[in-house]
Structure 1
């Protein structure tokens, strides 16, 4: 069981003005003037699709969008006061914390489920790491029901003392209640993640579900494989088995479902759907033709930039363009998404704690290594252009070998000596009926084998 590691202490406040669109480079808290309107995956999609808007008129438009929405950074006494933009060409990895705010205000009420209340909790949390050479992206989900130790943190209205064995999503809510703003809420979450993981994350992005819905609509919907026919009693949504082209509301509702007929009711399983939606949305955005579909890409990038709060380290038009140019050919098979290893909390079976093996995941990220058991070859995969059959590229490079043997190019999986399907990235066991991946040691969900379900369960002819 792992609850805390590498604590860091921050102190008194100082204020520096930064632009809207992200978390502070070296800060604990922010006073955010405008409401955040996007779910966790929009930040990644915004960066990856920004390249499509590199023309003079949109440059001016985006520059205005970024500069017109400002936040203030609240610095602690850690001595970190740099607000210089990240240099995307510096050959350094970029790591940030994505937080999906659980709010029911405005249009976000369309995505409410099972009587949940609006108390500003962190519904979704993911640590995202873009490699130094921009050849892969690591995404690690932190279950909101994780019981962890929270270090003390500063807010705009004073300091919150350290607490032990609290739910991870309550840290965001507690920070909001104490500080009265998203600045305080997200900063306390960020400090906790750094303490638990030993990472040194300087940036975070807060988002909500309505913004995600608008982004999906901006590119004409998203293709999702529904492996098992499902019905959700809270929204009335019924989705039949097969590849479905969903609009923003329905796709977001699917990612939020927890008590539908195809789910076990756990937040952990819901997290795997959110990871899958991220990969599908990124893949579809990157598959757009820059010349013939520039209008959709512009609307997607504009929706994202209007909806996100990013720190000064990223909120710079030149920085975003430079980063996007280096990422727009990213092979989506090199997006390594998984949930941190967990086990049941001994004191409460309805909660979870991090398994000891979680530190192996964070160690890889601290060492800037891809979260895969395969050999990662940065140049082995060109970008795929098929919206549905992700990464179905025939390749004989070492990247397609694992400790189990050769990887099936159609499914992206291998088989062990017992004939079970294995995800070579995580070593998890894949359910052939729905593509979910489970930890072989703990039995908990780790993710979804997106390539497997897209090309097997929901196989469709290439367009």
Structure 2
């Protein structure tokens, strides 16, 4: 879900928006930092050591893998319902920050995407299985089930993204349920347009159409909901709601006085940092955030990776050729929509979308070497929007 994106994005924007970045030491103990470098294999040469509070990647573009955990332990279990066995990631978003710090682009990867999963190193010394065609969120699950720790899970998701996109990921961040609620409440709720009445008993969501200011519990329910009366039950539909909510949150922070309200700002940063597990240090987050202080709503783009429905499985997602352009542009540090189609093709309406019954662990049938082409395509041009776009009038 969006919680990983929201918390990390907001932390960066908040650090960058005011001189509060200089107080990062007060928040250091909140963030759980983990080192996954030993599990990733050879990496690009790191940048020179910089002073505390400086941008650790000055002059270079940065790619951060944002993950949302569906851990149901402790307070998270009280919120999302308790389940037994392991940890899974229900959200993955690649966040790209341009080298000149003028653009932020976030591309959601549906958890049901069929991708190649490499064999990953784990903390136990065992390697995970490889698959030529399996659900994307299986990578995180395999790392966890084999290594029995977050480091192994995050490293396998990290390597899987690199394998399928051609990108170099610089860091990851994972966030939980409870922190998302706390962050929304820290800014006194998020104004958002609800186009139609929404009811979802599983997510405990009941909203009427029109402008609403969602508090923590309702905001989380809106982000989690995929069984409401206006949804097809798919992960794709839920991603759209998550992106709208993230845009509304970031817009609220950028366009309100949150960054100038010391009480709200500290509450926001405290909630964000308490919920983050990351490969980044607090000083790195502070330095990177401060370097982004010029970013505005129109500079932040959100989209879902262009996808279609595989011919052999209507409950899965397959990336299209448009996705290749998006990832190549991101790797080249140019706007991700350069060279993509502005309008969908005539056949661009999906005949089916991933169903709620999709389960992790689906792998390719032995002996199948060819990847079936998608039946339908959703083009990049239709899926992307900026924060400024998200402030359009509330119409049904």
Q: Is the 8 A contact 1:336 1:425 kept in 2?
A: no
SS at the partner of 2:314?
strand
Deviations 1:188-217 (A, max 9, x none): 010010010000112111112221111111
Deviations 1:93-132 (A, max 9, x none): 111101111222223235538x987642210000000111
Q: Which residue of 2 aligns with 1:315?
A: 281
SS at the partner of 2:278?
coil
1:336 is aligned to 2:301: yes
1:75 is aligned to 2:69: no
| Structure 1 range deviating more: 301-310 or 104-113 | 104-113
Deviations 1:427-453 (A, max 9, x none): 469xxxxxxxxxxx6258836787566
Quote the offset at 1:87 in angstroms: 3.2
CA distance in structure 2 between the aligned counterparts of 1:104 and 1:81, rounded to whole angstroms: 37
Q: Is the 8 A contact 1:39 1:210 kept in 2?
A: no
CA distance in structure 2 between the aligned counterparts of 1:357 and 1:198, rounded to whole angstroms: 14
Unaligned runs of 5+ in 1: 1-37, 375-423, 430-440
SS at the partner of 1:281?
helix
User: May I ask how many residue pairs the two structures share in their alignment?
Assistant: 358
SS at the partner of 1:362?
helix
Q: Which residue of 2 aligns with 1:356?
A: 321
| Structure 1 range deviating more: 79-88 or 299-308 | 79-88
SS at the partner of 1:120?
coil
Q: Which residue of 2 aligns with 1:442?
A: 377
1:366 is aligned to 2:301: no
For the structure 1 residues 225 and 448, does the alpha-carbon distance in structure 2 shift closer, same or farther, using more than 3 Å as the test? farther
2:183 to 215, 220, 224: 215
1:206 to 170, 174, 197: 174
| Structure 1 range deviating more: 254-263 or 46-55 | 46-55
1:62 is aligned to 2:27: yes
Q: Is the 8 A contact 1:145 1:352 kept in 2?
A: yes
Which of the pair is proportionally richer in strand?
1
Deviations 1:332-370 (A, max 9, x none): 122111111111122211112111221011011011112
1:265-414 correspondence runs (5 A): 265-289=233-257, 293-311=261-279, 314-317=280-283, 319-372=284-337
CA distance in structure 2 between the aligned counterparts of 1:57 and 1:177, rounded to whole angstroms: 39
Quote the offset at 1:458 in angstroms: 5.3
CA distance in structure 1 between the aligned counterparts of 2:236 and 2:307, rounded to whole angstroms: 10
SS at the partner of 1:153?
coil
Quote the offset at 1:272 in angstroms: 1.1
CA distance in structure 2 between the aligned counterparts of 1:72 and 1:116, rounded to whole angstroms: 27
SS at the partner of 1:138?
strand
Quote the offset at 1:246 in angstroms: 0.6
SS at the partner of 1:39?
helix
2:114 to 147, 151, 157: 147
Q: What TM-score comes out, normalization by structure 2 length?
A: 0.81
For the structure 1 residues 231 and 55, does the alpha-carbon distance in structure 2 shift closer, same or farther, using more than 3 Å as the test? closer
Q: What TM-score comes out, normalization by structure 1 length?
A: 0.70
Quote the offset at 1:74 in angstroms: 4.6
Quote the offset at 1:230 in angstroms: 1.1
1:455 to 389, 392, 395: 392
CA distance in structure 1 between the aligned counterparts of 2:326 and 2:21, rounded to whole angstroms: 42
Which of the pair is proportionally richer in helix?
2
CA distance in structure 2 between the aligned counterparts of 1:80 and 1:448, rounded to whole angstroms: 32
CA distance in structure 2 between the aligned counterparts of 1:362 and 1:81, rounded to whole angstroms: 22
Q: Which residue of 2 aligns with 1:122?
A: 89
Q: Is the 8 A contact 1:153 1:161 kept in 2?
A: yes
Quote the offset at 1:266 in angstroms: 1.0
Q: Is the 8 A contact 2:158 2:172 kept in 1?
A: yes
For the structure 1 residues 175 and 111, does the alpha-carbon distance in structure 2 shift closer, same or farther, using more than 3 Å as the test? same
1:183 to 151, 158, 164: 151
For the structure 1 residues 243 and 358, does the alpha-carbon distance in structure 2 shift closer, same or farther, using more than 3 Å as the test? same
For the structure 1 residues 273 and 426, does the alpha-carbon distance in structure 2 shift closer, same or farther, using more than 3 Å as the test? farther
| Structure 1 range deviating more: 340-349 or 49-58 | 49-58
